[in-house]
Amino acid sequence: MTAIETSMAPRPPRHRVNPRALRWWTVQAALTSAAALLPQLVALELSDARWLVVTTSVTACLAAAYVLIMPSWRYRVHRWEADEHAVYTLAGWLHLEWRVVPISRIQTIDIERTLLQRLFGLATVTVTTASAAGPVRIVGLDAQEADRLVRRLTAITQADRGDAT
């Protein structure tokens, strides 16, 4: 980033997600890592091929790094904001993705709560448009705040009825 001193970049959205998302992401990462590690550990029990030792230890190192680093990194990145003009999110950790949708193009607003999210009192707000390219998601919101956000967004979008295509 040398030649862009005078140039513009998107301002990150205003709000961080709920800090409980840290723990949620950690548990998720731990589950994913376990799913990758367990079969290899079982295989290691049954045979003691050298390459198996190598792959298992490499997986273990990567998994440890993933569980330790990813959640806090994600928490630093993930942000969102919504006002009467647009819904705007920033997500990712290694790979960043900014998404912005004008309010007038919103078709549906849903709340989604997986079992794991419910354990931490979290929710995901999904904002869909007429595109086949996939919705805008705000993950890791406090469940009650998510409800309030959906109510507000619904009120705003109802005031702004169009074809949205």
Partner 1 sequence: MNEPAWRRLDVRMLAVFSLSEVGAVVVVLFIMLIGSRGDGAWQLIGAVLAPSALVTHGLLRWLTVRYRVGVERIELRSGLLNRQVRSVPRDRVRTVDLTSSPLHRLFGLSVVEIGTGSSTAKDGRLHLNAVATKEGERLRRELLDRSPIAWAKPTALSALPTSVPGTLPGSGPVRESHLVATLRLSWLRFAPLTTAGLVALSAVFGTGFKLADDVGVRLGDLDAVHRVGDRLGAAPLWLAVVALTLGVLVVVALGSMAVYLEGWWGYRLTREPDGTLRLRRGLLTTRSLSIEQRRMRGAEVAESLLLRLFGGARCAAVSTGLDAKATSHGALLPPAPLAEAHRVAAQVLLLGDPADATGAALDQHPPAALRRRLIRTLLPTVIVVASAWWLATTVPQLAPAWPAALLALPLAALLGLDRYRNLGHALRPEYLVIGQGSLIRRRVALQRRGIIGWRLRQSVVQRLAGLVTVDVVTAASAGRYSVVDLSMDAAVHLVNEVNPGLLPTRHPTNLSADLTNDQEGRFAEPTLS
Footprint of partner 1 (CB under 8 A): 1-16, 18-19, 81-86, 88, 94-102, 105, 129-134, 136, 141-142, 145, 148-149, 152-153, 156, 164-165
If residue 16 lies in a helix (H) or strand (E), which one and from where to where? strand 15-16
Q: How far is the CB of 2 from partner 1 (least distance, A)?
A: 8
3-state secondary structure of 63: helix
Pick the closer one to partner 1 by CB: 22 or 30.
22
Pick the closer one to partner 1 by CB: 5 or 48.
5
Residue pair 36/63 in contact by the 8 Å Cβ criterion:
yes
Residues contacting 147, CB < 8 A, separation 6+: 111, 123
Instruction: Quote the radius of gyration of the chain (alpha carbons, Å).
Output: 20
Pick the closer one to partner 1 by CB: 31 or 69.
69
Pick the closer one to partner 1 by CB: 9 or 42.
9
Q: How far is the CB of 43 from partner 1 (least distance, A)?
A: 29
Q: How far is the CB of 162 from partner 1 (least distance, A)?
A: 11
Reference 105, options 133, 143, 66, 71; nearest CA is 133
